[in-house]
Structure 1
Amino acid sequence: MIDWDLAVATGVRLVRPGPQVSREEARQAVSELRRLSREAEVHVKEFTGIDSAPPEEATVVDRPGWIRANVEGFKVVLEPLSEKVGNMPAIVSAVGSRITGVEVGAVLAFLASRVLGQYELFLPPDPDGNAPTGRLTLVAPNIVNTERELRVDPRDFRLWVCLHEETHRVQFTGVPWLREYLQAQMKEFLTISDMDLSTLLDRMRDVTDAVADAFRGGEGNLIEAIQTPEQKAVLDRVTAVMTLVEGHGDYVMDAVGPSVVPSVAEIRAKFQQRRAGGSRVDQVIRRLLGVDLKMKQYAEGSSFVTTVVEEAGMDGFNRVWTSPETLPTRQEISDPQAWMRRVLATNALEPDHKSA
């Protein structure tokens, strides 16, 4: 389906170089990010009350390293599609894999200069065949570049970023069923996709319409353009979960911030301005790739968490981690009161998990 080697080669070739730093500056940045990632875990764990796995140092990478890591993750996520692609005509598969390989590489090159960090949920098995729990990854050149552009305190900014990403590690190691739930939803999304040639042509027309809409300033994006009606319900569930975890990360990084990141208010204000900026072309690409949708998730998810914590306390909010049934729906993300009526105002729930 995708020529992964070509995707890596394309991404590494197209990605822009990072900021100019001396060897000593690079060494210090990597060392500090590793240390701050462990420090952030203590703050996040105390604040959220989630009993997560013991902390591990973050994996610090450069831009090409981020591209290679994400290709490995994509292989794991897209594995359910392998049999479907096997039924495609050989010439279509051969040509299509190279085209998609170049496309994936170009997308990764664009994102590789912007992503500050991530918690990688889906990793290839280790030599014994065991699937790793996850990996906290920080992209050092992007963090250094951003703190320079924003003219903020480097130590404060680095810890601020670590607080967000460490929140994800705490979420997925402290709530054991959450990773499996997401993986099951993504597998369902992929296995119900239509892979016949006629449907693919229809999807290409939808993609063309999405591109035109994005250039007109609309909200068209490639993710929505390629989904089937059956996939929409699954994608709504995935979107709700990702909005929750991203919003929770944003809420925690700002709530913990004042006590450990003195300049957090300045950092947040400048960072929000940066998110909204960029050239016209940059804005169109972000819209097409769903990056703007992700920014919207941060805001909506953070608002949901803020409302619930203010009205029900952290213990009340942590009921969200009890089971898949207590996760908010996409509609409830926009209406926290509805989630609280459904989840907190009933005695039908199981006792809180140890993680909450």
Structure 2
Amino acid sequence: MPFGFSPSPGDDDDDRRKDDKSSGGSSSSGSGGTPNNPFGFNLGGDMGGAGFDPSQLGQMLSQLGQMISGMGSGMATGGSGGGPVNYSVAGNLARQQIGDFTPVSDGERTAVTESVRLAELWLDDATTLPAGATRSEAWTPVEWMEAAMPTFKRLCDPVAQQISNTWSTSMPEEMAQMAGPMMGMLTQMGGMAFGTQLGQGLGQLAKEVLTSTDIGLPIAPAGTAALLPEAIARFDDGLEIPSQEVMVFLAAREAAYVRLFTHVPWLRERLLATVEEYARGITIDFSGIERAATEIDPMQLLSDPSKIEELMASGTSFEPTTTEEQKAALGRLETLLALVEGWVEQVVGDALSDRIPSTAALTETMRRRRATGGPAEQTFATLVGLELRPRKLREASTLWQRVKESTDTATRDGVWAHPDLLPDGDDIDNPAAFIDRLIGGDTTSFEEAFAELEKSLADDDTDAIESGDQPPTESDSSDGGAHEEPGDTDPDAGDTK
């Protein structure tokens, strides 16, 4: 669930420990916390037990100090510290998470520029959409993070704002009266919590992304193709593929994304609007915490601090509930992202398959990267509760391939002309029906014609009854009614039984 909320009291702690061991002790999100505990504090156990690691105390206090400092500076400068997400905290923690990085050299900038130029030339043969990149850049992780922040504000603000509003509108009256003077502080703490989670996620993501469009959304300014040489070098390790081929392949993917987002202007807004649609429906169920709170005397909380731990250990949580409308919005978002990725995969494959021998291997590598939970899946799962399914990505790619084989490149690319022309989730599962509609071979028109004929016959029967003429009944055509014997050769004989 978004922003660290959990749909159930239980945690997959055992699985998370296994993942930590297999990854050398660090989680994939780069955070020391759990979904129910974004700050990384361990609230269970005692100081001497296995639930608390004293070596992390300094790090936790340092993090808390940075968050408070960021909130204070944001408020003093009228910045984002008082909003639903504290972006000052997010930016500071993201930079800390990134740590040391290698500046981009002149040779790397030249390699990126030449790779994008060559990829654009080859893509002209694979798509009717013209080139969209007017400049190419080589970014450091910090440059990617700074460029990505405006887009993530669009993604995060609706979800965080809705959750913040739900706190004040859905909180039980008694609890609201008790917390009235503290609501301002709770809002600031909520902004810090959201900023902390966003900062940790962005910091880790900045070290993993290979291009500006690696998460499926346009991050770079319009007309800019950007690659991250340091991350590409790590990605290249162990592939046993020439580095030049890897660079050109990734440059082709980036250039294809830029073409699509440049010449399909409604696409970016459609993606972000779907996230906002999901956010508007968020509500929080306070019933669990309310039931637990009624069983504990507030005075006991003051006299016996262990009661607080008992309340937290009871499994209560603020659970965002998902409506049917939200599920539909997430389904549309998943489908649209899969269609974008599938189209890019097909275009790049058509452009490079005869020119770069490792195209098929690199394509499969990118698919596996998605399947094992790449940056895009982790980010969207954190922000909006969405996990892209690799099956949909593969089937979306197959759909675009079959569309081109059944029609041509211009027809395939023309589907992006209007959102109503795009295939939906059912079409991805059944490409044949979508292709039939696209090329005019759909049988819907015949079905409609038969339905009109049946309706016309029914109207004729009704008119006959009203005029006193009885329409033919079923018995008239039965064995006892008039019909032609197999041996009758003269149709005009009129012999009947």
Query: TM-score band, normalised by the shorter chain?
Result: 0.7 to 0.9
Of 261, 266, 269 in structure 2, the residue corresponding to residue 180 of structure 1 is 269
CA 1:328–1:293: 2 relative to 1, 3 Å: same
Q: Which has the larger radius of gyration?
A: 2
Instruction: For 1:145-156, list aligned pairs within 5 A.
Output: 145-156=234-245
- Is the 2:85–2:160 Cα contact (8 Å) retained in structure 1? no
Q: Please report how far the alpha carbon of residue 291 of structure 1 lies from its aligned counterpart in structure 2 after TM superposition.
A: 9.1
Between the aligned partners of 2:267 and 2:402, the Cα distance in structure 1 is 22
Q: Which moved more, 1:266-275 or 1:248-257?
A: 266-275
1:109 correspondence with 2:203: yes
Between the aligned partners of 1:38 and 1:294, the Cα distance in structure 2 is 32
What residue identity is the alignment partner of 2:124?
K
- Is the 1:242–1:297 Cα contact (8 Å) retained in structure 2? no
1:14 correspondence with 2:109: no
Q: Please report how far the alpha carbon of residue 266 of structure 1 lies from its aligned counterpart in structure 2 after TM superposition.
A: 4.1
SS of the equivalent of 2:105 reads: helix
- Is the 1:247–1:301 Cα contact (8 Å) retained in structure 2? yes
What residue identity is the alignment partner of 2:91?
V
SS of the equivalent of 1:47 reads: coil
- Is the 2:330–2:386 Cα contact (8 Å) retained in structure 1? no
SS of the equivalent of 2:277 reads: helix
> What residue number does 1:49 align with?
128
> What residue number does 2:229 align with?
140
Between the aligned partners of 1:178 and 1:226, the Cα distance in structure 2 is 28
Q: CA RMSD in A?
A: 3.6
Q: Please report how far the alpha carbon of residue 136 of structure 1 lies from its aligned counterpart in structure 2 after TM superposition.
A: 3.1
Q: Tell me the matched-pair count.
A: 308
- Is the 2:108–2:138 Cα contact (8 Å) retained in structure 1? no
Between the aligned partners of 2:187 and 2:392, the Cα distance in structure 1 is 35
Which runs of no fewer than 5 residues in structure 1 stay unpaired? 125-131, 203-224, 348-356
Of 122, 140, 143 in structure 2, the residue corresponding to residue 62 of structure 1 is 140
SS of the equivalent of 1:230 reads: helix
Q: Deviations over 1:72-128 (max 9, x none)?
A: 22123445568656744423221111112111122223322321113385679xxxx
What residue identity is the alignment partner of 1:177?
W
Of 352, 355, 371 in structure 2, the residue corresponding to residue 257 of structure 1 is 352
- Is the 1:37–1:58 Cα contact (8 Å) retained in structure 2? yes
> What residue number does 1:167 align with?
256
1:309 correspondence with 2:387: no
SS of the equivalent of 2:401 reads: helix
What residue identity is the alignment partner of 1:37?
V
CA 1:302–1:226: 2 relative to 1, 3 Å: farther
CA 1:15–1:226: 2 relative to 1, 3 Å: farther
> What residue number does 2:119 align with?
40
Identity of aligned residues (%): 23
CA 1:296–1:8: 2 relative to 1, 3 Å: farther
SS of the equivalent of 1:109 reads: helix
What residue identity is the alignment partner of 1:166?
A
Instruction: For 1:1-356, list aligned pairs within 5 A.
Output: 1-15=84-98, 17=100, 26-51=105-130, 53=132, 55-80=133-158, 84=162, 87=165, 88=168, 89-119=183-213, 133=222, 135-194=224-283, 198=286, 227-268=322-363, 289=382, 293=388, 295-345=390-440
- Is the 2:90–2:198 Cα contact (8 Å) retained in structure 1? yes
What residue identity is the alignment partner of 1:117?
T
Between the aligned partners of 2:368 and 2:325, the Cα distance in structure 1 is 37
- Is the 1:63–1:112 Cα contact (8 Å) retained in structure 2? yes
CA 1:200–1:111: 2 relative to 1, 3 Å: farther
Between the aligned partners of 1:111 and 1:346, the Cα distance in structure 2 is 45
Q: Deviations over 1:14-41 (max 9, x none)?
A: 23655xx7x7x83312221123223322
Q: Please report how far the alpha carbon of residue 137 of structure 1 lies from its aligned counterpart in structure 2 after TM superposition.
A: 2.8
Q: Deviations over 1:110-166 (max 9, x none)?
A: 322321113385679xxxxxxx64643322211111112313211111110111121
What residue identity is the alignment partner of 2:437?
R
SS of the equivalent of 2:209 reads: coil
CA 1:8–1:295: 2 relative to 1, 3 Å: farther
Between the aligned partners of 1:285 and 1:176, the Cα distance in structure 2 is 26
SS of the equivalent of 1:252 reads: helix
SS of the equivalent of 1:58 reads: strand
The TM-score, its normalising length taken from structure 1, stands at 0.73
The TM-score, its normalising length taken from structure 2, stands at 0.54
CA 1:268–1:199: 2 relative to 1, 3 Å: farther
CA 1:260–1:81: 2 relative to 1, 3 Å: same
CA 1:295–1:82: 2 relative to 1, 3 Å: closer
Which runs of no fewer than 5 residues in structure 2 stay unpaired? 1-83, 169-182, 291-319, 443-497
SS of the equivalent of 1:48 reads: coil
